[in-house]
A = this chain, B = another copy of it.
Amino acid sequence: MSFIEQANETIRAAGGRMTTQRQLIIELIEEVNDQLDAEGLFQLARERDDSINLTTIYRTLNTLESAGLIRQQYISPDHDRKYYTLTGRTYHFTCRKCKRVIPFKSDLIDQLKHHLETELHAMAINACVCVDGLCPDCQAEEQR
């Protein structure tokens, strides 16, 4: 079953409808397959439907997130904006100087979740992990 089909089913199961706007937004998230914020999604969506509204983007994003179809994430420690992905198992390092974002994966995060479950008996559902500092290039530049 494709993601669109799955989304359709999930939304219907919750008593909702698969509108053209929702379909477009889901398609874009799937296509881009990377972190997207509401504004970025809005820009892309307008290319295909120039009557779509930012509010609709926000509302759809919230609906999809509540349904568990997409995942909300912050990228930089500034936390200026919320980003969304389908899976969201990639974390991000942001350079303080050049603002470059380097994605990374680490099983330490799953270990951390496990640690919480055994030590605190807390069931971890989602984790925000943002790290910042200096990227290799900016470290080298700093050295000079």
Contacts and interface: CB of A to CB of B under 8 A. Distances in A.
A128 interface: yes
Interface of A: 72, 74, 77, 79, 93, 95-96, 102, 104, 106, 108-109, 111-113, 115-116, 119-136, 139
A62 to B, nearest CB: 13
A77 B116 contact: no
A77 B72 CA distance: 9
B125 A133 contact: yes
Contacts of A127: 77, 129-132
A113 B130 CA distance: 11
B133 A126 contact: yes
Contacts of A136: 120-122
Contact of A104 (B106, B111, B120): B120
A43 to B, nearest CB: 23
Contact of A125 (B96, B108, B111, B115): B96
Nearest to A82: B79
B125 A104 contact: no
10 contacts: A77-B128, A96-B125, A102-B120, A106-B115, A108-B108, A113-B131, A122-B134, A123-B133, A125-B134, A126-B132
Given A108-B111, A108-B115, A115-B106, A130 B128 contact: yes
